[in-house]
Every structure is written in C-alpha cells, then in structure tokens.
Amino acid sequence: MALVQNKDHFVSASGILRYSYKDVQKATQNFTTILGQGSFGPVYKATLPSGEAVAVKVLASNSKQGEREFQTEVSVLGRLHHRNLVNLVGYCVDKGQHMLIYEFMSNGSLENLLHGQEEQILSWEERLQIALDISHGIEYLHEGAVPPIIHRDLKSANILLDRSMRAKVADFGLSKEEVFDGRNSGLKGTYGYIDPVYMSTNKFTMKSDIYSFGIIIFELITAIHPQQNLMQYINLAGMSPTGIDEILDKELVGECSLEEVRGLASIAHRCLHKLPRKRPSIGEVSQAILKSKQRHLVKIDTMSFAGRDISRAVSRIEDQQLELSKMASLKERVAD
C-alpha cells in the first residue's frame, strides 16, 4: 500500500515532509508488518508512492524517549545529510501519535547480524568496511556538521545496514549539539557502551562517542555483546600483544589475518583510553581504519597476483608434460 501525499502535507522548517496518521495507517496496512521493537517503540514497514520501502517508527506511549527526543531526531536529521547517516524521509504528528519515517535498511541492525538467530555470517572484509562506514558517519557529525553533533547513544543496535551491506548511523533522539549549555537531565545512553568518565562526571563529550565506537569495534571483532561482559574480555586480551586472538569471533578463526585483527584491536584500545584527552579524534580513527583496509586490499591483490603466477606455472608444467608424452609416444612409433 503506497503512502499517498495530499494537501495536508507540508514541508516543515527542518525540510522533512509531514504526513497524516491516516496516510501512514494505509501505508503500513494498518501497522501489520512489524520490523522490530526499539527503545523508541515498534517499527513497521511501509511503502512510498515511488515504490520505495520505508520504515515507520512509532513512539510508544510508555517510551522512555519522549516528545523532546522525537523533536531532536526531526531537527537533527532534517539538516544532516551523509551517505553514512540513515535518511529521515518524513514524520507524523497526528491524533496524539508521533511517528518517524526512514529509508528502509534491508539488512537490519548490526546488533541483529552479530547476535541474532540468522545464519548470515559477516566476513572480515565486511566487518572492516562496516567499521569504516561508521567512522565516516561519526566524522561527519563531529567534524562536518555545523555546529558539531555528539550522538550520545552509539551502539550496534543503532547501526543499520542497507542491501549492499553499507552501514549507516541511526537514532539521533539523544544527540546534542556540542555548544549545548551543559545542563543535564540524568545519565543517557545504553549500558555496555557508556563512557565511564561520563558516568562519573555526567559530562558527555565527543570523546564519549569515541569510547562507544571503540566498544562497537571490539563487538565487530569478537561478536560478544557489550552486555555480556565484553569489557572484561577486552581487559584480559589487553594483557598480551596477541590476547585478542583468544577472543576473536570463532566464525573468523582461520578466515582472516590475525595481524589485521590485532591492528584493528589496537585502534579500538586507543578509543577506550581511560583519559578522554588521550583518545584519538574520529578523524584519526577513520584514517587508521582506512589504512588497515588499504593494507588488507593490497594483501589480497598480492595473493591474487601470486595465485595467478602459480596457476600459470602449473599450466606451463602441464603443457610441458603433454609435449613430453607426445614426444615419447612418437619415439615409440618410430622405433616400431
């Protein structure tokens, strides 16, 4: 069922289209196809007039995220546009309901891919690309947006993947502009991803986002959920230069270079430094991951080139053996 635009729609100050409850109800076929359930509320699938699939997030009446977070999401995403941020295509405030309409991300959340029941296994190449995509999204928020934006709730559940397995950062309900006046309303974020410095000072900075990203990188490497003692495993692994090998996701064992794994783990360790000022900027993290990916690609090219050389050598040997056998049979015929 397509979402039909009508005269009741208008473009808000944020540039995001507003839809009526009736239209969203029709588009979701009366909210029948549920995609998931988040802290915000249930998420349903719908369709735009163009045939484009979208996801509709409905603010639950008992949601911890209230109207303020809803307004933050609309205002922030209305002015931020980047290939590694989930695109908000519309919203609905009607009949006491608050709903957000996003581009549909067909491969769901990173959390579900790493910890769900699906058979799909992420390769090392995919995990490296996902880490790079996330870094680009955060880099845009921290260094490209004016004023800069601090996400404040980076976690695998808020990283969504499209049909090409490209990652995008989502859920900006808790985000703040860096020029925020310092007032706070209690701790925000998700257990397992929260910067310990923030927990003790109640001051959230860009370096708190860096900490959360460091946790996500380790989650990509190990497939251990942060709420299942991931930090304890990280601390144990950090006691040895090769410690990360012991907690590498079993699906990756023998399928990737341990040198590359240790390199990415080293980047993540820097993100988790107990002193925020010692943590790298997101630009530095992004560059480090990019270099790691480039080294990986060079290695693949080298192996491929070597493989082609071996293949050609084997082919030449086979040709020579064939020639020798022909000559041998010819000699036998001459002798007869």
Query: How sure is the predictor about 3, in pLDDT bands with cuts at 50, 70 and 90?
Result: low
List 133, 153, 209, 249, catalytic entry: 153
Range of weakest confidence among 50-64, 84-98, 242-256, 267-281: 50-64
Q: What is the pLDDT of residue 76?
A: 82
Q: What percent of the chain has pLDDT over 90?
A: 56
Asked whether the predicted pLDDT for residue 140 surpasses 50, the reply is yes
Q: Where are the domains of the chain?
A: 17-103, 110-295
Query: How sure is the predictor about 313, in pLDDT bands with cuts at 50, 70 and 90?
Result: low
Range of weakest confidence among 138-142, 184-188, 214-218: 184-188
Q: What is the pLDDT of residue 243?
A: 95
Q: What percent of the chain has pLDDT over 70?
A: 80
Mean pLDDT calculated for residue range 20-26: 90
Asked whether the predicted pLDDT for residue 182 surpasses 50, the reply is no
Asked whether the predicted pLDDT for residue 240 surpasses 70, the reply is yes
Range of weakest confidence among 144-153, 211-220, 233-242, 327-336: 327-336
What are the pLDDT digits (tens) for 55-92?
A: 999 987 765 556 777 888 888 888 888 999 999 989 99
**What CATH fold (topology level) applies to the domain 17-103?**
Phosphorylase Kinase; domain 1 (3.30.200)
Using CA atoms, how far residue 93 sits from 31, 42, 87, 174, 310, in Å, is 16, 16, 18, 19, 65
**Residue 162: CB atoms within 10 Å:** 16
CB 27 within 8 A of CB 1: yes
**What CATH fold (topology level) applies to the domain 110-295?**
Transferase(Phosphotransferase); domain 1 (1.10.510)
Q: What integer best gives the mean pLDDT of the chain?
A: 85
Task: Give me the sign of the Cα torsion angle 80, 171, 112, 223.
Answer: positive
Say which amino acid occupies 44.
Answer: Y
Mean pLDDT calculated for residue range 122-136: 97
Mean pLDDT calculated for residue range 298-326: 67
Same fold yes or no, 17-103 and 110-295: no
β-pairing verdict for 17-18 and 88-94 = parallel
Decide if 319 is catalytic. Answer: no
